[in-house]
Amino acid sequence: MTIKALLFKKRVIIKKVKINYEESKMKKVVILGAGFAGLHIFYKIRHLIGKKIDITVIDSRSHSLLKPSLPEVSFVGAPISHSLIELKHTLESRGATFIQDEVVNINAKNNLLTLKNGTDVNYDYIFITVGAVKDYDAIKGFREFGYSVCDDTQAQRLWKKVQEFEGGKIVTGAAKSTWGNRVKAPDLKAPCEGPIGEIMFMFDYYLTKEKSLKREKDYKINVFTPGEIFFEDVGDNPRNAVGKIMQERKINLHNNKILTEIGKDFIAFEDGTKMECDLAIIIPPYSAPKVLVDSNLGDKKGFIPTDTQMRHLDFKNVFAAGDITALAQPKLGHIAIIQGAIAAAVFMQELGEDVTIPAYEPEIFCIMNMGGHDATLISSDVLYHGTKDKAFHSPLAKMMKWGFDNYLYYNKGHMPPDFALEATDKLVKLL
Quick: pLDDT tens for 142-173. 999 999 999 999 999 999 999 999 999 999 99
Nearest Cα to 301, choosing from 318, 289, 316, 315? 289
pTM of the model: 0.92
CA dist 424 and 405 (Å) reads: 14
Nearest Cα to 245, choosing from 192, 206, 193, 201? 201
Residue 120: Cβ within 10 Å count: 11
- Whether the CB-CB separation of 382 and 236 falls below 8 Å is answered with no
| Amino acid identity for residue 321 in this structure | A
CA dist 315 and 250 (Å) reads: 51
Quick: pLDDT tens for 10-42. 444 434 434 443 555 899 999 999 999 999 999
The DSSP bridge pattern shows strands 112-115 and 103-107 to be antiparallel
**Domain 134-285: CATH class, spelled out:** alpha beta
Give residues with Cβ within 8 angstroms of 398, minimum separation 6.
367, 369, 370, 373, 374, 375
Quick: pLDDT tens for 203-239. 999 999 999 999 999 999 999 999 999 999 999 999 9
- For residue 121, list its beta bridge partners: 113
CA dist 243 and 239 (Å) reads: 6
Domain with CATH 3.50.50.60 in the chain: 15-132+288-350, 134-285
pLDDT at site 423: 65
Q: Which fold has domain 15-132+288-350?
A: FAD/NAD(P)-binding domain (3.50.50)
Quick: pLDDT tens for 327-362. 999 999 999 999 999 999 999 999 999 999 999 999
Dihedral of CA 173/179/181/186: which sign? negative
